[in-house]
């Protein structure tokens, strides 16, 4: 599907980029090439929580292990850790700095005659523009809701994020640690980031114990005295153990969600145990869908030129 820009206003003469006139709360960088959520500052905290312990490990553990292991084994511990850390950071950027699957807004509400017969009026709407309508997915009837902000009926599995003020395809959740919605176009990278962070914690935690053990063997001392000689290793072991409960737990939780083809939003909002999940294709096909299917192009060209609406506030970007 080709990326499209929102409908242009006919009354304004000033031409701006789409990201500058975007009505959502997103933050843009590099002329609209990078898109973040409004809470992008939390991303710097996440970067610190990764880079600070990584630097401590390289200086106080991996560098010492280079002297403990002969040949290339010592330096390989450091090189693998650095490469793996960079890989985690790349996944972090791919998750937080891309369009998660934002659905373009309509300039006007949909025509009532195109809505179909199976509809349910909402309390604040007229019968001609109902709050929900029925669509059939794999033989199962699913209700889709009308979004008054975006003036559209959301596609199945989509939801409106109140933080970013956008409707997002296959909405999973808004991640406060990454400052971005997790949806159709970045869920794969989100899971890879969380899972890779888990492996990085295990790697650092394991080699901290290896260094403590080397001290015990070389100085013929107890584990407690060995730990007093490398407080950085002790601090990293405690930190990585606590971090493992978080990222490791998230990894296990999302492995389960992928296996049953559910999003976090669906898991807590809908109870498919009470009815059939129309999106479940079986464990193998569910994993193929997440990791092997092509990622669709963004439906919005944030760098396209549009006419500025009268009185609209422009996003400056960075």
- Consecutive H or E run containing 181: strand 180-182
Residue 156: both structure tokens together? 């199945």
Residue 318: both structure tokens together? 């960075």
Mind giving me the DSSP string for 34-97?
EEE-TTTTHHHHHHHHHHHHHHHHIIIIIHHHHHHS-TTHHHHHHHHHHHHHHHHHHHHHHHHS
- Consecutive H or E run containing 140: strand 140-147
Residues whose CB is less than 8 angstroms from the CB of residue 177 and which lie 6 or more positions away in sequence, other chains included: 42, 43, 45, 46
Is 164 in the active site?
no
Q: By C-alpha distance, which of 318, 293, 70 is closest to 185?
A: 293
Choosing from 175, 181, 201, 208, the catalytic residue is: 175
Q: For 208, which DSSP code?
A: H
**Are 219 and 135 in contact, with CB atoms under 8 Å apart?**
no
Residues whose CB is less than 8 angstroms from the CB of residue 51 and which lie 6 or more positions away in sequence, other chains included: 85
Which of the residues are catalytic? 175
């Amino acid at each position: 599907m080709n990326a499209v820009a929102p409908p242009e206003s006919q009354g304004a003469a000033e031409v701006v980029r789409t990201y500058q006139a975007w009505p959502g709360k997103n933050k843009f960088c590099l002329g609209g090439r990078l898109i973040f959520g409004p809470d992008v500052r939390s991303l710097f905290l996440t970067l610190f929580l990764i880079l600070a312990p990584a630097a401590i490990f390289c200086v106080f553990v991996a560098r010492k292990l280079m002297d403990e292991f002969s040949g290339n084994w010592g330096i390989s511990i450091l090189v693998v850790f650095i490469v793996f850390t960079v890989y985690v950071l790349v996944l972090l950027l791919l998750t937080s700095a891309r369009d998660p699957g934002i659905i373009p807004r309509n300039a006007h509400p949909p025509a009532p005659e195109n809505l179909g017969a199976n509809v349910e009026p909402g309390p604040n709407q007229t019968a001609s523009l109902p709050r929900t309508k029925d669509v059939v997915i794999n033989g199962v009837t699913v209700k889709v809701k009308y979004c008054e902000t975006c003036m559209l009926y959301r596609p199945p599995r989509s939801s409106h994020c109140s933080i970013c003020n956008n409707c997002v395809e296959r909405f999973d959740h808004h991640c406060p640690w990454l400052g971005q919605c997790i949806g159709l176009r970045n869920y794969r990278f989100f899971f890879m980031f969380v899972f890779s962070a888990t492996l990085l914690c295990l790697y650092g935690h394991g080699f901290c114990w290896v260094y403590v053990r080397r001290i015990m063997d070389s100085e013929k001392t107890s584990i407690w005295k060995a730990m007093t000689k490398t407080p950085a290793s002790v601090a990293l072991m405690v930190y990585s153990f606590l971090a493992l409960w978080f990222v490791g737990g998230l990894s296990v939780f999302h492995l389960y969600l992928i296996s049953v083809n559910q999003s976090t939003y669906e898991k807590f909002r809908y109870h498919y145990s009470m009815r059939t999940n129309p999106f479940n294709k079986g464990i193998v096909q569910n994993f193929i869908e997440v990791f092997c299917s092509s990622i669709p192009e963004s439906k919005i060209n944030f760098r396209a030129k549009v006419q500025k609406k009268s009185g609209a506030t422009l996003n400056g970007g960075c």
